[in-house]
Structure 1
Amino acid sequence: MRVGMLVDERSTTVVVIGGGQSGLSAGYHLKRRGVPFVILDAAQAPGGAWRERWESLRMATVNGIFDLPGFPKPPLDPDEPSRTAVPRYFAGFEQASGLPILRPVRVTAVHSGPGERLTVETDRGNWVTDAVINATGTWDNPVRPHYPGQETFTGPQVHTRDYVSADQFAGKRVAIVGGGISALQQLEEISRVATTFWYTRREPVFLDGDFTPEGAGRDTIAKVTADVEAGRPTGSVVSYTGLIWTPYAQAARDRGALERRPMFTAIEPYGVREADGSFTSVNAILWATGFKASLAHLDPLHLRNEQGGIQLTGTAVTADPRIHLIGFGPSQSTVGANRAGREAVTTLIRRGVLSPTPVP
């Protein structure tokens, strides 16, 4: 539902921050358990970060979209851009479920409020609540590395977040930085229309087979879970899983685009200084350097430890179990996001933070 300007302060039992897959899953389970709640979503319309994906990312290329709870996705055209197909599916779920979603509402800070309650500050008024389920994902927190001389570069520098299509690099000499899935997808596309140079901090590791929740996938989830339960900062998905020989990775290899170079040491006006001291002329840089969890609005709660991580017990922040992080750590995948939404609600009820009134 879309609303106008909120009043200065309102109250509810749970505030869900974020209207992507994990936030919608949490909302579904809160409604089923009869818990008063609201979902605050910064986007203008349904779809979460999928609305911002680059135009050429088709449904055949994405890693898979898991069904939202109680709402099987319809057949999807593999050639349709994910930026239209997924938001349409999310919009159908929102209409069918009738969740109380307010948008666009941007959360700016969360504080400990009066008594045991929390205050959620937004650009459209404040909310006082007993618990927060945070589902803000990573899209709004791109990693933008800095190298000496970067500000002197005369060409465009684009992060994955702002990438539109290979057309914007046609005919150029492009340094593509990053060793993740998005980097490979964009490298493959851009190498069709431009001269590309691929840079990564570490030698990429390619594995045979597909990533699934079983087998190696289960081992990966266990490793990420161990990190968050120990309060260690988590790395990128690929740092746990390695890379798969997907069709686009094979196409890039066959085109000779997967000739990886170690990271350059500096950026100059018309190119980059290589690790061996030589110079490579480039006139554009794509920073496919990934994202980190978008959690700055939780900083007033001082949840991070001396390592810079946030320790979790399940989905609950160990230091403050009123706060749950979903779509974070081991629940970043679409199937993990669904499970985390259910777990957060179940845990809050079991610990007595919430008093449910089951809906018949």
Structure 2
Amino acid sequence: MTGTRTQVVVVGGGQAGLAAGYHLRRLGVDFVILDAQSTPGGAWQHGWDTLHLFSPAPYSSLPGRPMPHQPGQVYPDAAHVVAYLSDYEKRYELPVQRPVLVQGIHRDGPLLQVRTDSGTWSAHAVISATGTWWRPFVPAVPGRRLFEGRHLHTVTYRAPADFAGQRVIVVGGGNSGAQIAADLTGHADVTWATARPPRFLADDIDGRALFDTATARRRALDNGQADTAGVAALGDIVAVPPVRAARDAGLLNAVPMFTRLTAPGPQWPDGSITRTDAVIWCTGFRPALAHLAPLHLRDRHGRIATTGTRALDEPRLHLLGYGDWTGPASATLIGVGRPAREAAREIKAILGPGHRPQG
């Protein structure tokens, strides 16, 4: 496919890209979704074996199609989410092409040129929906390269059986750190290290409450009201059943972060060193935006300035699903629908009535 033209190119076929496709289809816009993955499901098909949502199925749905209940599960597992996304794509006949790797987006007069490993697309607008999973972040801890054990990140952790009988350090005070530390309990000698004491949300708070809180904060800020801090004021860790069980059994106790890594393992603030087989970094992600580099939109902090989902310095580009800076809770299944709808409407307004691609 060389020199193909359409109205809109959506980069990424995960949950954000599918939500964008749903709204573009409803508005009668011509578009294509380019997905680098060979199968449907986005990042959910790459999570660890026991990964679950922290919201019940009815509160984990993309626009137009409620997620069905998973028998025997209050919080659906990753495989259920993959099946749901695959069904969603088929149900709405979304034009996903895969595997197609987008290598760069360039300005080409009135159009944006989307260069891929299988040809070039030209479009009047682009929605970037590549997420963050593909760009794991590991902090620059002193001595990291000296450590002789294994380094892993959330993206490469799969199952506790891989660490049976080993000594493992799990780093990170968020949901992934708590869930993986709990997952390893009973299989490995696990130490959970966090930069600050972990903050568990109340046991009755799940993803639905977090979405409502994030939305209320954004509404308040838009109305010029005081910042309530939103989700950050509630805590950092959702007490899903495995985490709650490990915590209540006294098996999920965080220790302050080590000061450096040595060849055998981490060195702690008191100077002691723990011989360790593996360190699992549950330290988050950064937006996967390398394909946007030719547009030169990032500031010195690496961020792209936006109003809503639209890039301020390139109004033909929308960013979707990267977190609160592209819409309240937009990195979640339930949260991405609203900013996806707004992005589609803005693009439709720019295209105008009766606008059709040429060529």
- Is 1:335 the equivalent of 2:328? no
Q: Which residue of 1 aligns with 2:282?
A: 288
1:53 aligns to 2:47 (yes or no): yes
| Structure 2 equivalent of residue 274 of structure 1 | 268
Equivalent in the alignment of 2:226: none
- Pair 1:104-2:99 in alignment: yes
Amino acid at match of 2:260: A
Q: 1:354 to 1:252 in 2, by over 3 A?
A: farther
Amino acid at match of 2:331: Q
Q: Counterpart in 2 of 1:146?
A: 140
The 2-side partners of 1:259 and 1:136 are apart by 34
Provide the residue aligned with 1:22 in structure 2: 16
Q: CA deviation at 1:95?
A: 1.7
Instruction: Deviation per CA, 1:29-87: give whole Å up to 9, x if none.
Output: 1112111110000111111111111112246x567562233323333134598342222
Residues 1:164 and 2:158 are matched in the alignment: yes
- Residues 259-296 of structure 1: per-residue CA shift (max 9 Å, x gap): 22222121112111112222122221111111121111
Q: CA deviation at 1:217?
A: 4.5
- Structure 2 length normalisation: TM-score? 0.86
Q: Residues of 2 paired with 1:47 and 1:356: CA distance?
A: 33
Indicate which of 240, 252, 276 corresponds to 1:258: 252
194 and 19 in structure 1: CA distance in 2 versus 1, 3 angstrom threshold: same
Q: Please report how far the alpha carbon of residue 346 of structure 1 lies from its aligned counterpart in structure 2 after TM superposition.
A: 0.6
Residue type matched to 1:17 in 2? V
Distance 1:325 1:219, change over 3 A: same
For 2:111 and 2:220, locate their aligned partners in 1 and report how far apart those are by CA, in whole Å: 30
Aligned length: 341
TM-score, normalised relative to structure 1: 0.86
Are 2:171 and 1:177 equivalent residues in the alignment? yes
Structure 2 counterpart SS, 1:118: strand
Q: What amino acid sits opposite 1:248 in the alignment? A: P
CA RMSD of aligned residues (A): 2.7
1:181–1:238 contact (8 Å) kept in structure 2? no
Cα contact 2:55–2:207 (8 A) shared by 1: no
Are 2:86 and 1:87 equivalent residues in the alignment?
no
Answer whether contact 1:196 1:257 (CA < 8 A) is retained.
no
Are residues 241 and 313 of structure 1, via their aligned partners in 2, closer, same or farther at CA, if it must alter by over 3 Å? Answer: farther
Q: 1:203, 1:227 → 2: CA distance? A: 28
Give the superposition deviation at 1:213: 5.0
